[in-house]
Amino acid sequence: MSHSPGPGHNSTPKLTRQQKGKLGEEAACRWLCEQGYQIIELNWRCRRGEIDIIASDGDLLVFVEVRSRSGAGKYGTPQESVDLRKMKQVRSTAEVYLHMTGIKLQPRFDIIAVMLNRTGDIVSVQHIANAF
């Protein structure tokens, strides 16, 4: 006896949180490179936390938090998910990075919000400079 999915069943496997994050970070890197940014680090980690992307834009060192979502606003926009706690953690991690590397560029904190469809295709990339 064979079983077929009922009407409206989507046979496409659902993307995991990690897969969405990876797709979002790849899209964010592509977008930044197309805009002339130089990618310095990806997923830089220390005990304080992780920074998704560190890039340079002229005389600025840009710390980028990437947020990816699929689905139409069920949980708000990707950028709305960057709360005060996350902003503090990114700033604190950036301080460690600047101290460890000795880089003297002016820091800036951006968010890149990536919307995906159910299959993982990029629907939109929104870059919010000086987000926090």
What is the token pair recorded at 90?
């990114």
pLDDT recorded at residue 3: 46
The structural architecture, per CATH, of the domain 17-128 is 3-Layer(aba) Sandwich (3.40)
Q: Spell out the per-residue pLDDT of the chain, length 132, in tens.
A: 444 444 444 556 678 889 889 999 999 999 999 999 999 999 999 999 999 999 999 999 999 999 998 875 566 777 888 889 999 999 999 999 999 999 999 999 999 999 998 888 999 999 999 999
Concatenated DSSP letters for 67-118?
A: EEEESSSBTB-TGGG--HHHHHHHHHHHHHHHHHH---SEEEEEEEEEEE-T
Distance separating alpha carbons of residues 111 and 80, to the nearest angstrom: 10
What is the token pair recorded at 77?
């926009």
Residue with tokens 């797709």: 23
pTM given for the model:
0.85
